[in-house]
C-alpha cells in the first residue's frame, strides 16, 4: 500500500495547493471522497485494471461522477487516467485529508474506552488534548468491552494507554528491569 501512497502524493499535493489557492478545501475534499469511493468499487477496479484506454477510463469516471466534480477535478481525473493512476484515488483522498488537517491545524484523535463517553467527558478530553497537541481536536470515540478501565488515545503516531491493563504492563516491565 505504500506504493499507492507514493503514487498519490504528488496528485494530492497538487489538488491541495489548487484548493487552497481557490479557497475550496471543503469542496475538494468532498469531490475527492466521491471519486475515491467510485474508484474503490469492485467493478470499477476491474475496469481500471483492464486494457481499456486512458480516455475510456477518464470518460467513464467523469460520466459516473458527473455533477459531483467540477471542471478542475475532471482535469485531475483526466491526468490521472493518462498516467494509469486512477486506482490511486483513495490514497489521493487520504493524503489530501491529511494535508487539509495539517493546514487547518486539526487532529483526529481515536479514543477507545470500555464504556461510552458522555458529552461532558468528551468535552473535557477535547480541551485537554487541544492544549497538549496545540490543535483543534476531533474525537472518534469507540467502545471496546476488553478495555476494563481507562482509555486508549491515538493521535497520529502518539498513543496514550491509560487503561488498567496498560498500567499493569508498564509496572511489570519496570519491576523486571
Same domain, 96 and 138: no
Per-residue pLDDT tens digits for 22-36: 888 889 999 999 999
Same domain, 93 and 112: no
Out of 102, 129, 154, pick the residue that ends a domain: 102
Distance CA 161, CA 151 (A): 6
Q: What is the crossing angle of helices 71-82 and 2-22, to 10°?
A: 150
Same domain, 112 and 172: yes
Query: 100 pLDDT exceeds 80?
Result: yes
> Domain range holding 151?
105-176
Same domain, 41 and 8: yes
pLDDT (mean) for 118-142: 88
**Total Cβ atoms within 10 A of residue 75:** 13
CB 123 within 8 A of CB 136: no
Per-residue pLDDT tens digits for 151-172: 888 887 888 888 888 888 888 8
- Per-residue model confidence (pLDDT) at position 1: 45
Same domain, 74 and 58: yes
Same domain, 84 and 36: yes
**Among the ranges given (71-75, 95-99, 113-117, 144-148), the one the predictor scored with the smallest mean pLDDT:** 144-148
Query: How many domains in the chain?
Result: 2
Half-sphere exposure of residue 103: CA atoms within 13 angstroms, side-chain side: 16
Distance CA 97, CA 91 (A): 10
Query: 107 pLDDT exceeds 70?
Result: yes
pLDDT (mean) for 124-132: 89
Q: Scan for cell 480516455, then name that residue.
A: 55
pLDDT (mean) for 115-124: 89
- Per-residue model confidence (pLDDT) at position 6: 86
Same domain, 43 and 88: yes
Same domain, 90 and 36: yes
Same domain, 93 and 19: yes
> What count of residues does the chain have?
177
Same domain, 75 and 24: yes
Note the pTM of the prediction, 2 decimals.
0.67
Amino acid at each position: 500500500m505504500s506504493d499507492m501512497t507514493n503514487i498519490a502524493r504528488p496528485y494530492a499535493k497538487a489538488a491541495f495547493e489548487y484548493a487552497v489557492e481557490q479557497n475550496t478545501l471543503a469542496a475538494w475534499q468532498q469531490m475527492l471522497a466521491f471519486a475515491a469511493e467510485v474508484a474503490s468499487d469492485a467493478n470499477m477496479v476491474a475496469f481500471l485494471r483492464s486494457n481499456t484506454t486512458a480516455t475510456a477510463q477518464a470518460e467513464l469516471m467523469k460520466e459516473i461522477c458527473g455533477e459531483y466534480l467540477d471542471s478542475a477535478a475532471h482535469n485531475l481525473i483526466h491526468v490521472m487516467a493518462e498516467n494509469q493512476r486512477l486506482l490511486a484515488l483513495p490514497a489521493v483522498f487520504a493524503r489530501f485529508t491529511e494535508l487539509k488537517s495539517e493546514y487547518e491545524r486539526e487532529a483526529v484523535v481515536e479514543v477507545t474506552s470500555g464504556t461510552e463517553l458522555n458529552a461532558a467527558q468528551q468535552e473535557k478530553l477535547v480541551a485537554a488534548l487541544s492544549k497538549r497537541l496545540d490543535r483543534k481536536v476531533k474525537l472518534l470515540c469507540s467502545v471496546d468491552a476488553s478495555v476494563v478501565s481507562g482509555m486508549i488515545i491515538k493521535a497520529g503516531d502518539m498513543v496514550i494507554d491509560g487503561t488498567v491493563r496498560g498500567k499493569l504492563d508498564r509496572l511489570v516491565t519496570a519491576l523486571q528491569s
